Amino acid sequence: MTVPPRSMSMSREMRNSTVRVVEEPRDNPSNMRFTFMPMALTEMQFYDFQPRVFASIRQLYGVNDAEYIFAFRSTINERISEGRSGAFVFNTCDRKYLVKSTTSKEKDVLLRLLPTYLRYLKWNPGTLLSRFFGFHAMKMYGQIFYFIVMGNFLSATEVIHRRYDIKGSWVDRNAPACVLGIQYSTPFSYN
């Protein structure tokens, strides 16, 4: 990941922090780890997973590293709340990106699919699939928090006439136990 130019304004916490690149993990040299030591806070470690792959995805969609980092310059808007999965989704302050908390298992799945995902994006740049621009983690107070950064389709310059919430209904969200050998179909709810 490229460090932003000195002229970019950063939050007071970041300006008052000591940043040190920690040795890249031996098991996967394409993951990077940074340590921030703010004056008033405990040590925080920042992990950047597959930075070269995500940088190429950002480049494919015209997002440069400085712009990407600059989007996180101040407090993130907590507009979107917890979803069914238990994950939290936030907007960056410029609303260009969504930040979604993930689990370690989701991290493993995404990183395993990443080469195929990148190839698909290169062949289909106009796809409506979510555009994953970075996968990161922070370690604070002995706990690791994983999060993914996605492009926000709703920040488009075009006028949006209708928006739909496709999370589904909370009514009758259960299914009977499956019996081996029986083929099932998925009923759709129109509530």
DSSP string, 115-161: HHHHHHHHH-TT--S--EEEEEEEEETTEEEEEEEEE-GGG-SSPP-
| CA contacts within 13 A on the Cβ side of 118 | 19
CA proximity to 153, closest of 98, 110, 72: 98
Sign of CA dihedral 28, 31, 36, 41: negative
DSSP at 61:
T
So what's the pLDDT on residue 163?
A: 72
Residue-by-residue pLDDT tens, the chain, 191 positions: 333 333 333 333 333 333 444 434 444 444 544 444 454 455 678 888 999 999 999 999 999 888 888 887 765 555 555 555 677 888 887 888 888 999 989 999 999 999 999 999 999 998 989 999 999 998 888 888 899 999 987 776 667 777 766 665 556 566 666 677 776 665 544 44
CA angle centred on 118, ends 104 and 148, rounded to 5°: 35
The pTM of the full predicted model, rounded to 2 decimals, is: 0.64
What are the structural domains, with CATH classification, of the chain? 12-154 (3.30.800.10)
Q: Tokens at residue 181, please?
A: 């050998």
So what's the pLDDT on residue 116?
A: 95
Q: Tokens at residue 140, please?
A: 């604070």
So what's the pLDDT on residue 89?
A: 82
So what's the pLDDT on residue 173?
A: 60
Q: What is the 3-state secondary structure (H, E, C) of 14-31?
A: HHCEEEEEECCCCCCCCC
